[in-house]
Amino acid sequence: MDRKPVDYGQYSILVIEDQPFVRRTIMQILSQIGFRSIAEADNGETGMRECIRATPDVIVCDIDMKPVSGLQFLAELRASAEVRNRRTPVVFLTNHTESEIVKKAMALGVNGFVVKPPSFGALKERVDRLLAGK
């Protein structure tokens, strides 16, 4: 069963990553995939403000950030009364294979993981799966 191709141009995506080079690289990949609306934030705090300001369809978020980590961001997003969609799909970028962090992320409602640094194929495949449900 073939899925119809995703029209990425109709979706907005938010990248939350504290390392500028990594953030730019991810944004470049997303642009190559076909996203036209790509917002960025440098930590969970600015990411939360961006979620309140705009309503992204998907969020790609690093776990290890200061002062607000990806886990803290996800907990805040899922509990927020200010964002329009608390259930926005979140993909964590991680080099963590520690089961504790994975368990915490799953308990908070993460929608998937992509290993850092993400490849074009891995990021596209994960985002495709999330958008297929929209």
Instruction: Give domain limits for the chain.
Output: 9-132
Q: Render pLDDT for 79-102 as a digit per residue (tens, 0 to 9).
A: 999 999 999 999 999 876 778 888
Tokens coding 122: 């891995």
Question: Could you read off the pLDDT of 34-67 as tens digits, one per residue?
Answer: 999 999 999 999 999 999 999 999 999 999 998 9
**Closest to 30 measured CA to CA, from 132, 133, 126:** 126
20 compared with 116, residue with greater pLDDT? 20
Residue 1 has pLDDT above 60, yes or no: no
Is CATH 3.40.50.2300 the right assignment for the domain spanning 9-132?
yes
Q: Are strands 37-41 and 90-94 parallel, antiparallel or unpaired?
A: unpaired
